[in-house]
Amino acid sequence: MAIVNQQLTLTALDALTVPANKSYAITNILVCNNGTATASFDLHLIPQGGSLSNEVTRVINNLELPAGETFTFDSEKIVLDTGDKISFVSEPQSTEPGAVIGNTCLAATVSYLEV
């Protein structure tokens, strides 16, 4: 099993792209609000060669997370093939001390197994 961690941004962030000749089973996706204000995110599952589209690839729409809360996506298993991606878009801009412009206070962890 492996994990990837990403701080979510105001623009589309590909948290995981399956490399050539691989398939991954996604076992768990966690999104944690590390800030002091409510933040929200969209989650997209994008097939190889596809592009982020709110009408087609979005599977979670504007989910609000209060400060200090964590969202867990683990009841459904997802299998991704070569070139498939998990992408996030979130808001608002983090106002935490030392925040980098373009970053939000949300962090995502994706856990997967190669199949």
pLDDT digits (tens, 9 = 90+) for 59-112: 999 999 999 999 999 988 899 999 999 999 999 999 888 889 999 999 999 999
Residue 114 clears pLDDT 80, i.e. is over it: yes
Using CA atoms, how far residue 54 sits from 12, 44, 70, 92, in Å, is 11, 8, 23, 18
pLDDT of residue 44: 98
Mean pLDDT calculated for residue range 32-58: 96
pLDDT of residue 15: 96
Pairwise CA distance, residues 110 & 29, whole Å: 5
Residue 1 clears pLDDT 80, i.e. is over it: no
What's the pTM?
A: 0.93
Confidence grade of residue 20 (pLDDT, cut at 50, 70, 90) = very high
Query: Which amino acid is present at 77?
Result: K
Pairwise CA distance, residues 94 & 36, whole Å: 9
CATH architecture under which domain 2-114 falls: Sandwich (2.60)
